[in-house]
Structure 1
């Protein structure tokens, strides 16, 4: 597999510049794209050095520390569409923790049957994929749930509509895989020389686990929000 030099990586600025041009032409805010791209680059470089050190010296407590940072960041990002309202952060944290922990257990112990569950080389990439997708599902669910209630919808209808909205990306991904696109993990394995048939097995594992953790995370988030709404523990909405 070819090694990408830092100089060659500079060509990746082209798509960033193109999208900034669209923002600029349509009187948008290209600064948002520039800031997000710069932050992404710095975060990935930083985590690259951290992972090199962590992989070289596996540690239970360091792995737990990394997972704690990941879930905290994911919970905070997940509630971004509704962060001007109180009562969303705790349910998001619980939903992420429970759903991702369960599916990591299934993956590591039942599917992969690893001996050391906290092996950073295995658990951190998996946790990253699970947290990212569950975070998106929770974010979509929370935003739609709040919007539906604000429009005066019944709580049960709002919950169902929010769950449907949260699952659209996951269902689309299952329908499109192999026909429209090869997912990132499978592509990476193939590029690194792994047999496509082996890569397929890993991808099936990842996609089913992501489906489960996203669906469970969204459902748990909506259940917690619904409980708080019914008992009026938090003023999430202003009903018309």
Structure 2
């Protein structure tokens, strides 16, 4: 189904509602929310043009360079909420990079080579959207796990207890997603494929792959980040 740019103007309705809520409840953050929406539109439009070029000019070094850039940005965004905490260290960015490389790298390789058997392995139309999906989810889990770890340590929990509680808390969205999929929600990839006319059972197999890989990438990334934080924790 084709969506015109003019049709997208309807999307301003929920944005306006949330903006009004922000204006009454937390006016100091209203500009940040609106700025985030504007950036989202601009970034997606630019990415759309970039992907058109990438899909027409596939190359291993370009695909790898794009993914590394995405990874570096994801790591920066992951530690952004931590900068206000007293325990924050600039080294946290490096820990986030290592965590993302570990979690996303393993699951992306399994997806491209094992599950999908994509040839060539660097095919942009596959590897870049999947890498983005894995990075986005792992990035959020890294933020949640690190923030919870620091909170637990401030309350006196030892490193082992803090890591265990932080991992469990950060993985709640992923575990809830596993319980809800198919019963409460049809996730993004499955919904998109069905809307584009793909046979439902094919869409189901793709979604099972995505859910399993997201569980793996987020769990690995969170555990690596927590091990990094614990190794730097001198208390």
TM, length-normalised to structure 2:
0.95
Per-residue deviation, 1:59: 1.2
**Which deviations, in whole Å up to 9, do the C-alpha atoms of 1:36-92 show, x marking residues without a partner?**
100000000000000000001101111111101110110001111212411311111
- Assess if the C-alpha contact under 8 Å between 1:16 and 1:33 holds in 2: no
**Equivalent in 123, 132, 139 of residue 135 of structure 1:** 139
More displaced 10-residue stretch of structure 1: 111-120 or 184-193: 111-120
Structure 2 equivalent of residue 106 of structure 1: 110
> After the TM superposition, which residues 53-68 of structure 1 pair with which residues of structure 2 at under 5 Å, given as runs?
53-68=53-68
Gaps of 5+ in 2: none
In 1, distance between residues paired with 2:166 and 2:81? 14
Q: Which residue of 2 aligns with 1:96?
A: 100
Alpha-carbon deviations, 1:6-52, whole Å to 9, x = none? Answer: 11111111111000010112242321221010000000000000000
Change (3 A) 1:27 1:102: closer
Superposition map of 1:176-195 within 5 A: 176-195=180-199
Structure 1 equivalent of residue 73 of structure 2:
73
Write the mapping of 1:109-188 to structure 2, written as runs, cut at 5 A. Answer: 109-188=113-192
Between stretches 19-28 and 153-162, larger displacement belongs to 19-28
Superposition deviation, residue 115 in structure 1: 2.0
Counterparts in 2 of 1:118 and 1:27: CA distance versus 1, 3 Å: closer
Q: In structure 1, what is the Cα distance between the partners aligned to 2:74 and 2:184?
A: 28
Backbone CA RMSD of aligned residues = 1.0
| Deviations, residues 126-164 of structure 1 (Å, cap 9, x unaligned) | 001100011011110001001111222111111111000
- Shift in alpha-carbon separation, 1:168–1:27, aligned structure 2, 3 A: closer
Question: Does structure 2 retain, via aligned residues, the 8 Å contact 1:189–1:199?
Answer: yes
1:46 corresponds to which residue? 46
Describe the SS at the equivalent of 1:193: coil
Name the CA distance, whole Å, in 1 between partners of 2:83 and 2:132. Answer: 23
User: Structure 1 unaligned runs (5+)?
Assistant: 233-238
> 2:7 corresponds to which residue?
8
Structure 1 runs (4+) deviating above 6 angstroms are: none
Residue 215 of structure 2 aligns to a residue whose secondary structure is helix
In structure 2, how many angstroms separate the alpha carbons of the residues matched to 1:26 and 1:222? 34
Q: How many residues align?
A: 230
Determine the C-alpha separation between the residues in 2 that align with 1:32 and 1:121.
Answer: 32
> In structure 1, the residue corresponding to 2:6 is in which secondary structure?
helix
Deviation at 1:113, TM superposition (A): 1.1
52-61 or 75-84: bigger deviation: 75-84
